[in-house]
Amino acid sequence: MNKLLLTSVFLEFLESFYIKYGSFIPLAESDVLEHLKKTSNSDLSSRLVKTTYRAGLASAPVAGFMVTYNKHNLRLEDLGTLEDQNWLNDQIINMYGELIMDVAEQKVHFFNSFFYKQLVAKGYEGVKRWTKKVDLFSKWLLLIPIHLEIHWSLIAITMATKTISYYDSQGIVFRHTTNNIMKYLQSEAREKKQAAFQKGWKIAIIKGIPQQKNDSDCGVFVLEYCRRLSVKQPLLFSQNNMPQIRKRIYKELCDCRLND
């Protein structure tokens, strides 16, 4: 394939990527090289890739771009929280949780990020209706993102063993959160007449898990914990993987599905 045609293929790929994802935030050089390898079966000079790739990154985002999935709407300002070292917002956390539940085929329940705040503010009565159409006790895993001040952490509940596990990417332990969740589960069990779940709960503070080395990636760590726990994969990732994970999450949100 001659250079002119190859450049045309390259630009076509960039344009389709731009339209699909609204910006070039999730684009990596490896994406470009992989696409060109598939379409041209040749090794394009790194100079051409880098030049056009950088030009693409400088392009303005697609005006009015939005991702809609179920009741979730993501604008570019939401997706932009996945760029560099920005803090993730609730919209990103909650839609990604929806994708996790889809993959788990009703075996995992992901609580909205506002659930815990409402529980603390108004007690069980304030969140009782949140599970009106959900049988928590038929799930094998519950995932509750916890946002305290400016930090995200995770509570994961294994229903078979009645274990409430606390995951934190900075090793911080907010023990009152696990106690509050235990009380919630006991109240929910009474409300739903599930005698077996009214007692016997255990609390575990999970140590030896991947830890962040900055002050901005806690939300990304929580989503990666959730993703891997929901499909029973080991937590084998690190701070070094954060740039790639951020790009992957951005693409998954726009694709409205988790990638293999």
What residues are labeled active site?
A: 151, 168, 218
Q: What's the CA gap between 99 and 172, in Å, rounded?
A: 27
Asked if residue 32 lies in contact with residue 13, where contact means CB atoms within 8 angstroms, the answer is yes
How far apart, in Å, do the first and last CA atoms of the chain sit? 31
84, 249, 130, 176: CA torsion to nearest 10? -50
Question: Where would I find the H helices in the chain?
Answer: 3-21, 29-40, 46-57, 76-79, 90-104, 115-127, 175-191, 218-230, 242-255
Asked if residue 197 lies in contact with residue 189, where contact means CB atoms within 8 angstroms, the answer is yes
Please choose, from the candidates 258, 260, 257, 255, the residue with its C-alpha nearest in 3D space to the C-alpha of residue 22.
255
35, 36, 37, 41: CA torsion to nearest 10? 140
Q: What's the CA gap between 154 and 139, in Å, rounded?
A: 17
**Environment class of residue 233 by beta-carbon count within 10 Å: exposed (0-12), middle (13-18) or buried (19+)?**
exposed
Asked if residue 73 lies in contact with residue 90, where contact means CB atoms within 8 angstroms, the answer is no
